[in-house]
Amino acid sequence: MGERFDHIVILTGAGISAESGLDTFRDKGRDGGGIWSGHAVEDVATPDAFRRNPTLVHNFYNMRRRAARAAEPNDAHHALARLEACYPGDVQIITQNVDDLHERAGSRNLIHMHGELRKRRCTACGSIEISDSDLSVHTSCAACLTQGSLRPHIVWFGEIPLDLADITRHLDACDLFLSIGTSGTVYPAAGFVDIVRQNPDALTVELNLEPSAGETKFQQKIYGKAREIVPSYVN
Ligand code: BV8
């Protein structure tokens, strides 16, 4: 990155974790590209699916929580953590991912706009707990002891993403916007680049395996595997 920026905002998606072995949503992953045991992610990651079949949805997230725990951050995660530690300007990551690979690589300025696999929320008392254990309809809330009231602290389709006001403040102040490993298919995240482009002095860059749905909105585009193109771009 030749020139000097004051506020770097980095949006990450499932593609940055792909080389850590975590399936993406829409690629031809091990489970056939966004399909989980015969269910489209959009059909499992919804409040209605949870109401209809909580055990199916718990199992979906239990499987992904175990996979995330077994995965390791890759060179792309480490490059972003180094950038935050060493760069003279502000570096803020906004991730759509629910794994904790950015944290485990050392990133601290991090917003999980779609929640986190390691957190569960009680629908009875609202408390949020951190735990790596499986969730089921028999699990009790540690705070209010209600059985079966816990749900993954994950933003499902049709639910409002977390920390949007904070995110908008970062996007308004941003002079470099990097979009890494996302297909640009889910809103409002896919529309963040439009907010940044309202500032004519901001530079927008897409780093992805292939052009995303929003590729024409970016001034610069770099295609390849995140663990190769991200370290070479940010170092
Ligand atoms: C909202 C957590 C209102 C869950 C996720 C009808 C009804 C209700 C809503 C809607 C509707 N129609 C449209 C909507 C809006 C909806 C939406 O956008 N739907 C889409 C399908 C059209 N959005 C919502 O519902 C959102 N909420 O709208 O609320 C509102 C909003 C604002 C203010 C007030 C009210 C909530 C959406 C959140 C859903 N939860 N995740 C979970 O993880 O289980 S979404 C999930 O998919 C991700 O979090 C991410 O956001 C999204 C896209 O995934 P990506 O990360 O991009 O991954 P993908 O597989 O798609 O792409 C991977 C990319 O990586 C590819 O481009 C690939 O080329 C690249 N790649 C692969 N390997 C590599 C690589 N790149 C580099 N290196 C590699 N090695």
Return the closest-CA partner of residue 17 out of 69, 61, 63: 69
Domain-wise residue ranges, the chain: 1-22+72-114+161-235, 31-70+116-154
Whether the predicted pLDDT of 150 surpasses 70:
yes
25/10: higher pLDDT: 10
Whether the predicted pLDDT of 33 surpasses 70:
no
Which one of 58, 77, 78, 114 is the catalytic residue?
114
- What pLDDT shows up at residue 170? 98
Per-residue pLDDT tens digits for 140-149 = 999 999 999 9
ipTM of the complex: 0.95
State which amino acid sits at residue 6. D
Say what angle helices 75-86 and 226-234 make with each other, to 10 degrees: 20
Which residue ranges have their beta carbon within 6 Å of ligand 1? Answer: 13-15, 18-19, 24-27, 42, 45, 96, 98, 114, 154-161, 164, 181-183, 185-189, 208-210, 212, 225-226
CATH node for 31-70+116-154: 3.30.1600.10
Per-residue pLDDT tens digits for 59-68 = 999 999 999 9
Domain at 1-22+72-114+161-235, CATH homologous superfamily: TPP-binding domain (3.40.50.1220)
Q: To the nearest whole number, what is the mean pLDDT of the chain?
A: 94
Q: Which helix (H) or strand (E) holds 193?
A: helix 192-196
Which stretches of the chain are assigned E, i.e. beta strand? 7-12, 35-36, 39-40, 90-95, 110-112, 115-122, 128-130, 150-154, 176-180, 203-208, 220-223
Residue whose tokens read 């949805």 = 57
Catalytic annotation on 78? no
At 135, the pLDDT band (50, 70, 90 cuts) reads very high
Q: What is the pTM of this model?
A: 0.96
Query: CB neighbours of 105 closer than 8 A, spacing ≥ 6?
Result: 73, 77, 78, 80, 81
DSSP code per residue over 13-39? -THHHHTTT---SSS--TTSSSEETTE
Residue whose tokens read 């991730």 = 95
Per-residue pLDDT tens digits for 181-208 = 999 999 999 999 999 999 999 999 999 9
